[in-house]
């Protein structure tokens, strides 16, 4: 399954590895900080890399502003300087470009390029950068009732942009709530995750999400980096059966989220299931099961190694727990 990231499956694993992931600023802050914000179509590149002369890594792009939100005019032709960044734009591609003016006031420097569907934005009306979220809401309202594959793909691109906002407008919340019950699993799961990550309507949405995730997965469609956190925040003992079922999912992130939820619940009744999960196909699942067993059974020492110790001799620690389980169930 296509994922944005699996480094956030369990936060305690992040700290164990010593790595810190810095999240980008919310989209509204990035829009506010840009000098120019516009929905553009890329017309091509101008010149090449100054050191190599290669046109494969252009330093300047030509773009037409289809929709000017800030610092530009509708229809304006822009020369966009990449200024050595690794951002690459596709000829004919459409993006919301976030640009900063050069100190001398000449051609803007590209800060960020957010891909958008070919039919976004809608008809021209007076706009500012504050209307970007509103136009996303209108676009999604026109799309989410459709099961057409193209519409779903286009709507998904906009939903991911909406998710980059720290604060959703009431209209955005309403649109996403509607999408959480649509027949399309991709849109329903993604919309539910965005709302649940913000603790919105969790009592209703979390059981629906668990039910959706147990449908046969027909594609690589869960693209959210918050699934483990959502499970952990909302896990209840009454849902242990759901978590055990999802821990056997073919989707790696779903498995990790379900096991993290079982750790949050920490119910002794899951002991036999967790022993079975010691034979999981990936190390994160194995270690999560082992760490949960250690917490449930109040064991430490060799029964509760750190991640580094576990990775060095997995078989040793797994054998130790299996022997304990065998002895305790005689």
- Domains of the chain, by residue range, sit at 1-26+126-228, 30-115, 266-330
pLDDT at 19 exceeding the cut of 90: no
pLDDT digits (tens, 9 = 90+) for 96-118: 999 998 777 667 899 999 999 98
Whole-angstrom Cα distance, residue 154 to residue 146? 11
DSSP 123: S
- Give yes or no for a contact between 293 and 274, defined as CB atoms under 8 angstroms apart: yes
- Rounded CA-CA distance 89/131 in Å is 24
pLDDT value for 55: 40
Place of tokens 């706009």: 127
Measured between alpha carbons, how far is 177 from 188 in angstroms, rounded to an integer? 9
Please determine, for residue 62, whether its predicted confidence score (pLDDT) is greater than 60: yes
* 51 pLDDT more than 50: no
CATH number of 30-115: 2.40.50.120
Dist CA 291 CA 274 (whole Å):
10
Indicate whether 123 pLDDT > 70.
Answer: no
pLDDT single digits (tens) 127-158: 555 678 888 888 888 776 655 555 777 888 88
Q: 150 Cβ partners below 8 Å, 6+ apart?
A: none
pLDDT category, 330, cuts 50, 70, 90? confident
- Average confidence score pLDDT of the chain: 82
Contact 252, 283 (CB under 8 A): no
229-246, pLDDT tens digit by residue?
999 999 999 999 999 999
Q: In whole angstroms, how large is the CA radius of gyration of the chain? A: 24
60: β partners: 46, 81
Which residues does 231 contact at the CB level (< 8 Å), separation at least 6? Answer: 243, 257, 258, 260, 261, 264
pLDDT(208) > 90: yes
**Largest Cα–Cα separation, the chain:** 80
Distances (CA, A) of 52 to 49, 55, 58, 81, 91: 5, 9, 10, 17, 21
Peptide bond into 183 cis (omega under 30): no
* Cα angle 86, 87, 88; round to 5: 110
Predicted TM-score of the model (pTM): 0.74
Q: Which residues pair with 68 in a beta bridge?
A: 38
Q: Which residue has the higher pLDDT, 183 or 258?
A: 258
pLDDT at 185: 83
**Residue located via tokens 């999560």:** 288
148 is written with which tokens? 């057409």
Measured CA to CA, the distance from residue 260 to residue 228 in angstroms comes to 7
Which tokens belong to 198? 């913000």
């Amino acid at each position: 399954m296509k994922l944005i990231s699996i480094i956030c499956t369990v936060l305690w694993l992040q700290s164990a590895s010593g790595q810190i992931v810095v999240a980008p600023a919310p989209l509204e802050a990035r829009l506010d900080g840009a000098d120019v914000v516009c929905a553009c179509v890329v017309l091509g590149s101008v010149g090449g890399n100054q050191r190599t002369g290669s046109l494969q890594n252009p330093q300047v792009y030509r773009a037409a502003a289809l929709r000017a939100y800030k610092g530009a005019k509708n229809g304006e032709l822009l020369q966009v300087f990449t200024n050595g960044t690794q951002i690459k734009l596709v000829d004919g591609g459409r993006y919301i470009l976030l640009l900063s003016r050069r100190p001398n006031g000449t051609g803007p420097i590209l800060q960020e390029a957010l891909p958008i569907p070919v039919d976004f934005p809608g008809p021209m009306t007076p706009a500012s950068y504050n209307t970007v979220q509103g136009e996303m809401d209108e676009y999604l309202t026109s799309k989410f009732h459709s099961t057409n594959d193209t519409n779903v793909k286009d709507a998904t691109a906009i939903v991911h942009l909406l998710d980059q906002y720290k604060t959703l407008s009431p209209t955005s919340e309403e649109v996403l709530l509607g999408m959480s019950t649509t027949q399309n699993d991709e849109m329903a799961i993604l919309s539910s995750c965005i709302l649940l990550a913000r603790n919105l309507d969790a009592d209703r949405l979390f059981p629906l999400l668990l039910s959706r995730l147990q449908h046969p997965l027909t594609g690589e469609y869960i693209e959210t980096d918050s699934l483990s956190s959502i499970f952990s925040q909302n896990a209840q003992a009454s849902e242990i059966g759901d978590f055990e079922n999802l821990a056997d999912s073919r989707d790696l992130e779903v498995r990790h989220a379900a096991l993290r939820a079982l750790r949050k619940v920490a119910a002794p009744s899951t002991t036999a299931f967790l022993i079975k999960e010691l034979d999981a196909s990936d190390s994160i699942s194995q270690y999560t099961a082992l760490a949960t067993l250690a917490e449930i059974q109040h064991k430490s020492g060799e029964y509760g190694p750190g991640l580094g110790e576990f990775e060095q001799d997995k078989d040793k620690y797994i054998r130790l727990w299996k022997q304990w389980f065998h002895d305790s169930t005689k």
